C-alpha cells in the first residue's frame, strides 16, 4: 500500500467518530417522517403503522443500544435534557431500557401534541419559553403533550404548516379519493412509483396516477409496476 | 429486518461514513437525516434489496453529491484554506513528527477538494473499493475515477510528499 493511502486512511479514521449524536439524528428522522406524513394526510389513517410504538421504543432505547465506542461527541439521551418539571418523561438512565408503559406515555404525549395541530416550529418556540434545549425537541413535544393531556393550554398557538396549507393536492376532503390514496400507499407505492405510472398511463400529474392506482387496487387489479 | 432495527444497528456507521464524506458534522447530520427519512418511506423496497446497507450508503453518497446547500461547502473550504495557510507558514507537513497532527492537517486540506474528488478518495481509501466499483457508484468510467483521484492527490500534494520521503529514505539507506 502506498504512503499516501496510509495517510489518507489515518486522516479519515482519526476524524470518522466526530459524528452528531445518533439519538438526536434518529429523533429528527422521526420528526421529518411525521411532518411528511402530516402533509400526506391521505395516508394518515395508517400512520400509526408507519411510525409504530416500536419505533418510539427504538428512539427511547437508542442511547442504551448504540455503542459508546470512541465517539468524541457524547450521546445524549432524548429525555436527558428535560427540565425538572418534565419528570413524567421516561427515565434518563441510558443503562436501563424504559418500561413499556413509559414508551406508551411518550407516544401518547407526542400524539396529543400533533393532534392538537402543533408541529416542529411551535416546539422550538416552546423550548425557548420553557428554557429547554432546542436540540432535544422530542422532549419538548412530550412535555407539551403531557400538559395538553392534563387539560392545560400551551403558551403558543398552533399555526397551520404553510407547506400543508398551500394547495397541497393531497390534502383532499373527498373521502373516496382519500380511500384510493390510502390503498395506494398501503400497498407500498410512493411518489417515484406515481411518476412512473403517470408516464405509463399518460397522465399529466403523478397525483392523478396515485388516485387511479388506488382505484385499481381497490378493484382488485394489479398495477403495471411493483412497489 | 424492520426499518427500526436497521437504524439502530447501522446509524452510527452511516454517520461515520457521512462525516468522512462531507468533512462537516452538521452537513453529515443533514444528509443522513434526509436519507433515512426517505428510506423509511420506501423501506419495503430497500429491505427487499440484496444489501439494504449498501443501498442506503449509496443514497448517502448521492445525497452528498447532489446537496444544494452550498454554504456549508463554502464554510468548510474557507476553514480548510485558512488551516492550510497556517500549516504552510509553519513549514509544511513534512516538519510534523506527530502522526495525529499530520492526519489533522490532511483532514483540513481534504476540504479543498471538490465533492466528486473527495468522494473518490473516501470510496477508495475509507470504503476500500476498487476503481470499477467506485465507477459503478459514481456512474462514470474507471478512467474517470483514476483521473479524479490523481487530481485530488495533486491538490493534496500527497504524491510529491511520497516522492520526497522516498528520496529521503534512499539518502539515508
Least confident range from A157-171, B38-52, B58-72, B104-118: namely A157-171
B173 or A161: which carries more pLDDT confidence?
A: B173
Kindly indicate the confidence band of residue B55, based on its pLDDT and cuts at 50, 70 and 90.
very high
* B122: region left, alpha or beta (phi > 0 left; psi from -120 to 50 alpha): alpha
- Nearest by CB to B162, from A4, A17, A188: name it: A4
The whole-angstrom distance between A16's CA and the closest CA on chain B is 5
Kindly indicate the confidence band of residue B12, based on its pLDDT and cuts at 50, 70 and 90.
very high
Q: Which residues of B touch A8 (CB under 8 A)?
A: 106, 121, 125-126, 158
Q: Coil, strand or helix: which one is A84?
A: helix
- Sorted by sequence, the CB contacts under 8 Å of residue A116 that are 6+ apart come out as A148, A154, A158
Residue B86, pLDDT above cutoff 50: no
What pLDDT score was predicted for residue A175?
67
**A vs B: CB pairs below 8 A:** 124
How far is Cα B57 from Cα A52, in angstroms, rounded to an integer?
A: 24
Least confident range from A35-44, A77-86, A95-104, A113-122: namely A77-86
Kindly indicate the confidence band of residue B161, based on its pLDDT and cuts at 50, 70 and 90.
low
How far is Cα B155 from Cα B168, in angstroms, rounded to an integer?
A: 22
Least confident range from A119-128, A188-197, B63-72: namely B63-72
**Interchain proximity B41–A33, CB inside 8 Å:** yes
Q: Judge whether B145 is closer than 8 Å to chain A, CB to CB.
A: no
To which residue does cell 390534502 refer? A171
Q: Which residue of A lies nearest to B17 if distances are taken between CA atoms?
A: A16
A44-88 pLDDT, tens digit per residue, is 443 344 444 444 444 444 444 444 433 333 333 333 333 333 333
What pLDDT score was predicted for residue B34?
86
The whole-angstrom distance between B140's CA and the closest CA on chain A is 22
A202-221 pLDDT, tens digit per residue, is 887 777 888 899 889 888 88
- Sorted by sequence, the CB contacts under 8 Å of residue A213 that are 6+ apart come out as A180, A184, A189, A193, A194, A197, A223
What pLDDT score was predicted for residue A51?
43
Overall average pLDDT of the A161-187 stretch: 58
What pLDDT score was predicted for residue B53?
93
Cα A11 versus chain centre, distance: 34
Cα dist. B165→A152, B90, B93, B159, B170 in Å?
71, 19, 12, 10, 9
A17-46 pLDDT, tens digit per residue, is 989 889 888 988 887 777 666 655 444 443
**Interchain proximity B107–A15, CB inside 8 Å:** yes
Nearest to B162 by CA among A7, A62, A223, A14: A7
Entry pTM: 0.51
B118-135 pLDDT, tens digit per residue, is 999 999 999 999 999 999
How far is Cα A214 from Cα A179, in angstroms, rounded to an integer?
A: 8
For B154, the enclosing helix (H) or strand (E) is helix B142-156
**Interchain proximity A32–B33, CB inside 8 Å:** yes
Q: Judge whether B20 is closer than 8 Å to chain A, CB to CB.
A: yes
Nearest to A155 by CA among A187, A130, A191: A130
B30 or A161: which carries more pLDDT confidence?
A: B30
What pLDDT score was predicted for residue B123?
97
- Sorted by sequence, the CB contacts under 8 Å of residue B84 that are 6+ apart come out as B105, B108, B109, B112
Least confident range from A5-19, A94-108, A178-192, A209-223: namely A94-108
Average pLDDT, chain B: 80
**Helix residue spans in B42-70 (DSSP H):** 43-47, 52-66
**Interchain proximity B12–A69, CB inside 8 Å:** yes
Amino acid at each position: 500500500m502506498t504512503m499516501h493511502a496510509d495517510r489518507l486512511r489515518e486522516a479519515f479514521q482519526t476524524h470518522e467518530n466526530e459524528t452528531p449524536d445518533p439519538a438526536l439524528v434518529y429523533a429528527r428522522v422521526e420528526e421529518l417522517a411525521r411532518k411528511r406524513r402530516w402533509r400526506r394526510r391521505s395516508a394518515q389513517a395508517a400512520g400509526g403503522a408507519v411510525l409504530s410504538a416500536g419505533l418510539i421504543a427504538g428512539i427511547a432505547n437508542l442511547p442504551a443500544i448504540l455503542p459508546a465506542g470512541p465517539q468524541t461527541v457524547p450521546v445524549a439521551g432524548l429525555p436527558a435534557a428535560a427540565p425538572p418539571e418534565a419528570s413524567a418523561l421516561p427515565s434518563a438512565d441510558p443503562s436501563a431500557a424504559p418500561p413499556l408503559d413509559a414508551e406508551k406515555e411518550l407516544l401518547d404525549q407526542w400524539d396529543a401534541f400533533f393532534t392538537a395541530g402543533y408541529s416542529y416550529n411551535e416546539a422550538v418556540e416552546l423550548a425557548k419559553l420553557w428554557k429547554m434545549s432546542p436540540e432535544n425537541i422530542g422532549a419538548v413535544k412530550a412535555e407539551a403533550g403531557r400538559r395538553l393531556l392534563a387539560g392545560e393550554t400551551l403558551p403558543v398557538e398552533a399555526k397551520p404548516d404553510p407547506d400543508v396549507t398551500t394547495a397541497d393536492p393531497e390534502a383532499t376532503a373527498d373521502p373516496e379519493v382519500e380511500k384510493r390514496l390510502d390503498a395506494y400507499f398501503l400497498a407500498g407505492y410512493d411518489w417515484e412509483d406515481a411518476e412512473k405510472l403517470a408516464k405509463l398511463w399518460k397522465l399529466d400529474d403523478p397525483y392523478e396516477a396515485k388516485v387511479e392506482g388506488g382505484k385499481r387496487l381497490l378493484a382488485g387489479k394489479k398495477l403495471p409496476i411493483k412497489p | 429486518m424492520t426499518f427500526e432495527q436497521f437504524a439502530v444497528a447501522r446509524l452510527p456507521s452511516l454517520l461515520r461514513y457521512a462525516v468522512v464524506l462531507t468533512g462537516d458534522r452538521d452537513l453529515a447530520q443533514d444528509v443522513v437525516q434526509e436519507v433515512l427519512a426517505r428510506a423509511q418511506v420506501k423501506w419495503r423496497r430497500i429491505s427487499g434489496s440484496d444489501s439494504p446497507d449498501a443501498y442506503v450508503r449509496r443514497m448517502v453518497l448521492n445525497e452528498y453529491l447532489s446537496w444544494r446547500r452550498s454554504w456549508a461547502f463554502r464554510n468548510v473550504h474557507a476553514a480548510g484554506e485558512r488551516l492550510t495557510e497556517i500549516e504552510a507558514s509553519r513549514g509544511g507537513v513534512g516538519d510534523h513528527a506527530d502522526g495525529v497532527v499530520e492526519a489533522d492537517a490532511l483532514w483540513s486540506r481534504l476540504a479543498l477538494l471538490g465533492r466528486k474528488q473527495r468522494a473518490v478518495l473516501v470510496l477508495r481509501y475509507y470504503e476500500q473499493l476498487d476503481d470499477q466499483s467506485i465507477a459503478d457508484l459514481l456512474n462514470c468510467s474507471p478512467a474517470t475515477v483514476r483521473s479524479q483521484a490523481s487530481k485530488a492527490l495533486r491538490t493534496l500534494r500527497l504524491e510529491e510528499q511520497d516522492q520526497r520521503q522516498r528520496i529521503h529514505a534512499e539518502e539515508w539507506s
